[in-house]
Amino acid sequence: MNSKQTALCVFYGLIAVAALTGTAAQLKPYLSLGIVQGNVHFWQDTLVNAASRFITVDIMFVFAVVWRWMLTEGRRLKMGGYFWYLPASLLIAFSAALPVFMIHREIARSRLNPAEVDDTGAAGALSVLLVTAVALAYTWRALAAII
């Protein structure tokens, strides 16, 4: 892997850690209920208000589209074990599993074509950093709400 790919993998890794930290911290009320009751209660809570329903529907449809892409990329790049990202997305957190998939994808891409690097350009990179900053700020606020 070249330095751009390595930096991209580090970026994805940091996102995965932040996403896992932010999502796992929200699970405390559900863990004590056990796997079945915890899941039932969690999904009931996603129906509590318009905002929770909106974001849940939004994420579910994003996941449907991205999962299809992940399957295609996994096959195309001959990524071993790519199917495990489905249970990881559903049982851990899609926001943590997707960046790990992206690391796996970058490693697979570097093996097939070391010179091929995703380049979003300056405006694209800036927009990704802006979205990431908003996500980090919201995660910080969500973590502060439970402390």
When pLDDT is averaged across residues 68-93 and rounded to a whole number, the result is 94
In whole angstroms, how far apart are CA 24 and each of 27, 76, 79, 113?
Answer: 5, 32, 27, 36
For the ranges 24-28, 81-85, 115-119, 124-128, the lowest mean pLDDT is seen at 115-119
Among residues 25, 19, 59, which one has the least CA distance to residue 43?
59
Neighbours of 105 (CB within 10 A): 20
CA 9 to each of CA 3, 5, 71, 145: distance values in angstroms, whole numbers, following the listed order: 10, 6, 20, 30
Tell whether the torsion through CA atoms of 72, 76, 77 and 81 is positive or negative: positive
The residue ranking higher by pLDDT, 43 or 112, is 43
CA distance 120 to 111: 21
119: confidence class by pLDDT, cuts 50, 70, 90: confident
Question: For residue 4, what pLDDT is reported?
Answer: 87
Indicate if the pLDDT at residue 117 is higher than 70: no
pLDDT tens sequence across 1-59: 888 889 999 999 999 999 999 999 999 999 999 999 999 999 999 999 999 999 999 99
